[in-house]
Structure 1
């Protein structure tokens, strides 16, 4: 198994993507931590609101074109380079036009958005600057999607690493000298430079493999993009506005921007865990999209369960000792709130990682319309729960996200198995229920057991049981696949 081409591809891809992502998102997360200490909690909440707003508009600026480029280039790069080149050219044209329109809309309506919706006139200029960030992120996303489809993991690693350095430098400098507005402006400068660098790397990579950016058959290529990109983007067209609506609801409560600042700061730690998971997912996607991919029981297990097992291993220190986060963030963030929100957000990340393999199924089988149903369950649950808990501020915010993804997980997985999107018995096991229960027990122990020696002892016993359950689950899943 150690000599398997599949293992080599996954290890190599995951290594380079993880290295690049750790550099990019790790340095960005570090920059956010610096900003969290430089800015007031209220100003950091304002920055979080601007970022959330742009993340929301980013969906309309990209419309799933980057993922579409990954899918088609993965499938066509070997057998039809000309068509792959045309898809790439059309993708760049499409996302440039889309993001330019969205940027113009932000410029025209920034005042109304800042004053009437967000209740903060001071956010007008940051929103305009962030619109520029959106434009360059969108183009850069297509470049990344193309390199991922080409399985050019090393090039992506270089791009991500440089991006991390640029964002760290300009976010920190901007925030230090000019506060929240300076941080947004620094983000814009970093992304302009990043877009120029990634464009050069893409051109060099294409030249090496005999491809180019082509505008031949533009209408036909745009039609192909449209057929996949629209359903691919619909899921995010539900998620991003939902997060933005929740953020807007939170900032319009008493002390709302401060509460958003607390939640955004704590979320940095969960986002660090998702960085590694995202790298694994990105490495697996083009491999499993390849038409010559031979599926074995071990590969299938890794496809569906590798992400949440990896998430579990990385998050264990934070689950057992959440005080790490309080120490890093500093005294101005309330300790008990930070601990509770951290535990809730890590469990939420754990649930999200459960469905990464299913997401690849939707892409491979062109069933992206089902992602709308999946995200709709999350959205409706999260909004309803937060309406009931909004008086609890950041804590109620974290609970609403956990509730949304919990309902999404328990309803979507059985449905997709029933619809034969995902193979039967993929998640049906008593051992996996024990894993979830033990994760909850470890979190409960960390929150309510103050004596460190007792907490460590209980955690050690829980970890041994957890690893045993994961091992038994692995053996059962492999035996089931072999017998089918």
Structure 2
């Protein structure tokens, strides 16, 4: 049987392949253009100014949680579950989600504008960031609305429309950030960002309206209070873990920028993680396809589906990360001479390990959503936050290096503690953690990073050792697949 026939003959495979194609293509264009814009911006601005831009972004991300409160994810969940058999209820959920997020985000934007002075002067240690904060507050309204509209498209499984929105977002953001940064520095980049997000919001309204009409669902405000109650029953625990994460990141950022040369160190870290963030693009694209599929009541399960759910995006992320681990010189070349290769290499290695931990446990995160166990995610992120803050408190004098190390170690501890805990609770299968090939893979990944950091100056030696490790990684992936097909 040909590959084309296999794809056409399986509903799951067809949805997964086509959905992943569109989501990956859209994310590749969006994140790729955004990453490119970030690189150009890092070259346009000074290292300190790029740190200021990163600090404003972190601050807005912090407030974004309260502006959206997990409503985008909630919209995906309920639209996925209701769109086929309960269209009126789906219409009510869509109307309630969109109206609620506009009300919340507008209120939070007003708070940011009113308190921009004390925030910039007291917490950010830079009074010049007041105007950028106000601009960011306006952006927050449209980011929140766009997240909910994207969530609705995912719930409809309208992957092609979602891809279109992502592409437009990437294009608008690239133009806005680059032109704005070139003409007006940090303020110009943020203003360009605001205009770009606003244009994306207009495009998304049309895409959601067209898809809703196609599926005989409308934006309805009937049973608004009942729908809001249902939204918050899921959204509050879903957003609490994010409410923990974003403020933690913001506090860590403020601890860093209040050190000598703090904004320069944050600028260094922000520039390096552009590459590990790009790796997560594929994890996000695949996750956005898998979540509505596994939420659907009609979708069956099989060992191959389960393997891809738990390990697919992780393996893809490993393959993408390997060239960056082997040839970190490329990142230095891309970022420019302002960023020292000696500083980049260890930070890049630690950030990649952090990213691979996140992608490895993506399937477990989907299990928590599907089984309505989001409260457990809150405890998990609480541990991560406390550990991260404690470690960085003692390492803050090390700047960007200490920042990357505290992130990595806190995620390592979180993975080793909470994945077994979720398994013991019956949320995820034992085989995804308790098997020797999973452990060998992690050991080889850590070894690959360590070799290329420690022996960075000895090119021939690190390439020879890396080739051996890569062969073991490929063999381990094959054995992991075989074992999981028998156990899942």
TM range (shorter): over 0.9
Measured after TM superposition, the shift of residue 177 of structure 1 is: 0.6
Distance in 2, Cα, partners of 1:480 & 1:67 = 30
Which stretches in structure 1 are left out of the alignment for 5+ residues?
none
Where 1:89 maps in the other structure, the secondary structure is: helix
Correspondent of 1:126 among 128, 132, 138? 132
Correspondent of 2:100 among 90, 94, 100? 94
Distance in 1, Cα, partners of 2:380 & 2:450 = 28
Runs of 4+ deviating beyond 3 Å: none
Measured after TM superposition, the shift of residue 243 of structure 1 is: 0.4
Correspondent of 1:470 among 457, 464, 477? 477
Measured after TM superposition, the shift of residue 45 of structure 1 is: 0.3
Correspondent of 1:195 among 192, 201, 214? 201
Correspondent of 1:479 among 466, 482, 486? 486
Distance in 2, Cα, partners of 1:180 & 1:289 = 41
Between 1:439-448 and 1:158-167, the stretch displaced more is: 439-448
Distance in 2, Cα, partners of 1:382 & 1:258 = 21
In the alignment, does 2:328 pair up with 1:322?
yes
Aligned length: 481
- Counterpart position of 2:229: 223
- Counterpart position of 1:423: 429
Judge conservation of contact 2:48–2:263 (CA < 8 Å) in 1: yes
For residues 26-80 of structure 1, give each alpha carbon's deviation from its aligned partner in whole angstroms, at most 9, with x where no partner exists: 1011101001000000000000000000011000000000000000000000001
Distance in 1, Cα, partners of 2:182 & 2:221 = 44
Distance in 2, Cα, partners of 1:277 & 1:298 = 18
Distance in 2, Cα, partners of 1:452 & 1:24 = 34
- Counterpart position of 1:250: 256
- Counterpart position of 2:54: 48
Measured after TM superposition, the shift of residue 430 of structure 1 is: 1.1
Distance in 1, Cα, partners of 2:468 & 2:117 = 56
Q: CA RMSD in A?
A: 0.9
Alignment of 1:253-272 (within 5 A): 253-272=259-278
Where 1:35 maps in the other structure, the secondary structure is: helix
Distance in 2, Cα, partners of 1:116 & 1:447 = 38
Distance in 1, Cα, partners of 2:180 & 2:430 = 52
Correspondent of 1:171 among 166, 170, 177? 177
Correspondent of 2:373 among 367, 372, 390? 367
- Counterpart position of 2:3: none
Distance in 1, Cα, partners of 2:425 & 2:314 = 23
Distance in 1, Cα, partners of 2:320 & 2:444 = 16
Judge conservation of contact 2:54–2:270 (CA < 8 Å) in 1: yes
Measured after TM superposition, the shift of residue 426 of structure 1 is: 2.5
- Counterpart position of 1:445: 451
For residues 345-370 of structure 1, give each alpha carbon's deviation from its aligned partner in whole angstroms, at most 9, with x where no partner exists: 00100011111111111111111111
Alignment of 1:15-414 (within 5 A): 15-414=21-420
Judge conservation of contact 2:265–2:399 (CA < 8 Å) in 1: yes
Distance in 2, Cα, partners of 1:112 & 1:452 = 50
Distance in 2, Cα, partners of 1:451 & 1:91 = 56
Distance in 2, Cα, partners of 1:168 & 1:246 = 28
Distance in 2, Cα, partners of 1:444 & 1:414 = 26
Where 2:434 maps in the other structure, the secondary structure is: coil
Measured after TM superposition, the shift of residue 240 of structure 1 is: 0.5
After TM superposition, the score normalised by the length of structure 2 is 0.97
Where 1:425 maps in the other structure, the secondary structure is: helix
Judge conservation of contact 2:432–2:438 (CA < 8 Å) in 1: no
Which stretches in structure 2 are left out of the alignment for 5+ residues?
1-5
Where 2:143 maps in the other structure, the secondary structure is: helix
Between 1:63-72 and 1:435-444, the stretch displaced more is: 435-444
In the alignment, does 2:447 pair up with 1:455?
no
Distance in 2, Cα, partners of 1:408 & 1:93 = 36
Measured after TM superposition, the shift of residue 307 of structure 1 is: 1.8
Measured after TM superposition, the shift of residue 322 of structure 1 is: 1.2
Between 1:455-464 and 1:81-90, the stretch displaced more is: 455-464
For residues 173-225 of structure 1, give each alpha carbon's deviation from its aligned partner in whole angstroms, at most 9, with x where no partner exists: 11001101100010001111111111111111111221111111101111110
Distance in 2, Cα, partners of 1:246 & 1:45 = 13
Where 1:420 maps in the other structure, the secondary structure is: coil
Distance in 2, Cα, partners of 1:28 & 1:465 = 34
Distance in 1, Cα, partners of 2:27 & 2:477 = 27
Distance in 1, Cα, partners of 2:388 & 2:152 = 34
Distance in 1, Cα, partners of 2:71 & 2:302 = 31
Judge conservation of contact 2:98–2:145 (CA < 8 Å) in 1: yes
